[in-house]
Amino acid sequence: MVNLKDSYFEFCDNVGTAIGISSSLARSIVTALLNNFLFNVFYLPFLAYCLLVNYMAELNFFSYDLVSDSFFAVNIFVITMLAGLVLAALGMFSSGIFWYANRETRKSVNDCKDNNHSSSWKNYAPFLTLNILFITLMAILTFLSSDRIFPIFVTLICAYMTAHYALFLFGSGKTKVFVTLLLVISSVIAIFGASEQSSKLFGIGLKAFGAGGQIDVLIYDETNLKPFEAKLLLITPTNLYFTKDDKSGFIPVSRLRKMIEK
């Protein structure tokens, strides 16, 4: 156990040296990342369940087979959605994380013998420039979009994610616990309080795999000689859920001849 602990501290020290921060701050970051990984083992299924329930409620259908037998697949859709949000958050607000990290580094450096770890804000100027470009692009897309609420909703989520991870990675122990509990509560409020926008966001993860998200499709089944147009809500191993003329329905996969995305 002692050797494992020493190896862990040595690894953290090497990480700190590589990215130019103090050893104590590096240990705090690595430990936070490990804790975040363990937390997500429980949080992601919870988040996926809330998003799926909201998505089905918003679009007036229910998939018994997905909830009971194939729920693991939903986690993949959610991870894809979160990956897109993380990239968007870094594109728009990453300089905020570096600013907070720099602030905490300067604090920790006062207790460290090596004072060469303090980083200048000028080192983060490229990230600030990138953020300004991304925010400008997002503002233009929002202005041109017919649905301006959704991009604003996404931007607010990205801002929240940035603040969460900045505090979680570099905050004190009490701060880490507080932001973790706040994340769970705010997730539930955001999903069910802004159900329409949350449904669209979850649909992005489905669209990435062609598994739903109201994709326009042509459906060929055994009972119709000609295909019919519909919006694909969700496809599972046993059923295909769709909407046609603002009414939801489903076809067993066993009766599906083929489906073509328009």
Cα separation, 230 vs 212, whole angstroms: 11
> Who wins on pLDDT, 243 or 19?
243
pLDDT tens digits, 42-71: 888 889 889 999 999 999 988 877 766 666
Are 204 and 217 in contact, with CB atoms under 8 Å apart?
A: no
pLDDT tens digits, 209-237: 888 999 999 988 887 778 889 999 998 88
pLDDT tens digits, 149-200: 999 999 999 999 999 988 887 777 788 889 989 999 999 999 999 999 999 9
Domains of the chain: 2-201 (no CATH), 210-261 (2.30.30.100)
Instruction: Taking residues 28-52, report their average pLDDT.
Output: 78
Query: pTM for this one?
Result: 0.80
Range of weakest confidence among 15-19, 30-34, 234-238:
15-19
Mean pLDDT of the chain: 81
Q: What are phi and psi of 89, to 5 degrees?
A: -65, -45
Cα separation, 42 vs 45, whole angstroms: 6
pLDDT band at 1 (very low <50, low <70, confident <90, very high): very low
